[in-house]
Amino acid sequence: MELPIKPPDRVVPEYSLTGDLLSYRRCAMQYRYYNGSALPPSRPVQMWYGEFIHGVLEGAFGMWRANPGRYPFPWPSTPIPDTGAPAPPPDGLAPNDLRVIGWPIEQALAYEGKRARSRRARVSAYRRAEAAVNMLGPHLFPLIADAEQKVIGTRPLPSPTPGTMLRSERYALHGVIDVLTNVELASVGEGNIIRDAVRAACPDLQGMFEVIVDYKGSHRPPLAEDYWQLGEWQVQTYAWLRQRQQLGYPVAAGILIYVNELAPGSDDIRRMRSAIQNRQTDVAPTRGDPDYYALNTWTAGAAPRLSAAFRYRRAIRVIPVTQQSIDNATQQFDQIVAEIEGRVRDEEIRGSIRNTWPPTCDSLETCIACDFRHFCPRPAGTRQQLATAEAAGDDDDV
Ligand code: SF4
């Protein structure tokens, strides 16, 4: 006789900060389909470019730390050949050549079924990885205390609507902090861009404290976009998780690094110009600035002649952390989890995914890359726009 397996007394659904909460906010329907039939979903949406950039920065930092003083910046990046499928770098390259660092990351991602969408996307990813390592490395690497730090904590789960019974009273929230820095501003040399950015955003800071750094494989979002707010909530929630570990100094700030801004492609420049024209960004060149002129005279296909100082300003976003800001952000994420849990419950009752998880994405770019666009009842843009963008080879960069 076969005995049934005893079910667990309690279900504590687990949520990943980026893989679940940010993905759900991108699109509820896409999130549900990407996460298969396992509830609660926990597998992150696959994003080759973001994972590649993270991998290269982590690999470069590991090599820099293991070989003090041996590989001064800038590090080389041997160009990718104009034709042919992705192949190993040629023999004889220096160990710190970004092609050498990037290749095993590409292989590991390919093993998981993740590949660059096109050759152009691959070239663009290496170009940005090179900018990230050579522009950030000299400033950021000396400050890093820990990389890829796992954090987890449990929180009470509010009811999505009054009286709704959920399967659990708590949920577990986990994430991976890209970089933790121990910063004593007074001890960091003048001209360190991380120090200067933290000091400008948090002028009253004294003593030792931690700064959480998160790399974003994207452009700096416009202020009105969901991603602007979500980025802030993310670092505040990391700060909450980190403080629960009680291992380090108090977290004083989070830094989001929008890697595309260090080496912007054509689409990034178009978005930047549009955000500046519509007064939807906090970092814009002033009239008469060389960067103002460079942006306004840029033509599609040409390399943008933006200064390094301006690109740093666009790439680095410092977010001060206080108890009040942490409380606000974690409550916002509680509400997102409650909404997901409410849909998990509704799906069980209705037996229908499509009637429970609506398409909520308004980004044409996301919908073009979405595997479910062909049967999605309401993708962003018109069918004609989707078809045209698809035929044109989607985004020009990644
Ligand atoms: S096509 Fe767009 S709206 Fe539809 S499921 Fe995909 S991401 Fe969501």
Q: What is the pLDDT of residues 237-246, one digit of tens each?
A: 999 999 887 7
DSSP secondary structure, 5-68, as one string: PPPPS----EEEIIIIIIHHHH-HHHHHHHTTT-SS--PPPP-HHHHHHHHHHHHHHHHHHHST
Average pLDDT over every residue of 207-235: 92
Residue 372 near ligand 1, beta carbon < 6 Å: yes
C-alpha of residue 24 to centroid of ligand 1, in Å = 11
Residue 30 near ligand 1, beta carbon < 6 Å: yes
Lowest-confidence region among 86-100, 195-209, 316-330:
195-209
Sign, CA dihedral 262-27-177-187, equals positive
Report pLDDT digits (tens) over 300-349. Answer: 888 889 999 999 999 999 999 999 999 999 999 999 999 999 998 899 88
Which atom of ligand 1 lies closest to the CA of 33? 5
Lowest-confidence region among 177-191, 227-241, 326-340, 370-384:
177-191
Cβ proximity of 251 and 321 under 8 Å: yes
C-alpha of residue 392 to centroid of ligand 1, in Å = 19
Domains along the sequence of the chain with CATH: 19-264+306-360 (3.90.320)
C-alpha of residue 27 to centroid of ligand 1, in Å = 6
Is the pLDDT at 200 greater than 60? The verdict is: yes
Q: Could you tell me what percent of the chain has a pLDDT over 70?
A: 91
Report pLDDT digits (tens) over 129-170. Answer: 999 999 999 999 988 888 888 999 999 988 777 777 777 788
Residue 359 near ligand 1, beta carbon < 6 Å: yes
pLDDT band at residue 57 using 50, 70 and 90 as cut-offs: very high
Cross-strand bridge partners of residue 171: 155
Residue 361 near ligand 1, beta carbon < 6 Å: yes
User: Does an H or E element contain 149, and which?
Assistant: strand 144-156
Residue at token pair 């096109």:
118
CA distance 354 to 32: 9
Residue 45 near ligand 1, beta carbon < 6 Å: no
C-alpha of residue 218 to centroid of ligand 1, in Å = 19
Residue 131 near ligand 1, beta carbon < 6 Å: no
Which atom of ligand 1 lies closest to the CA of 377? 4
C-alpha of residue 219 to centroid of ligand 1, in Å = 21
CB atoms within 10 A of CB 312: 20
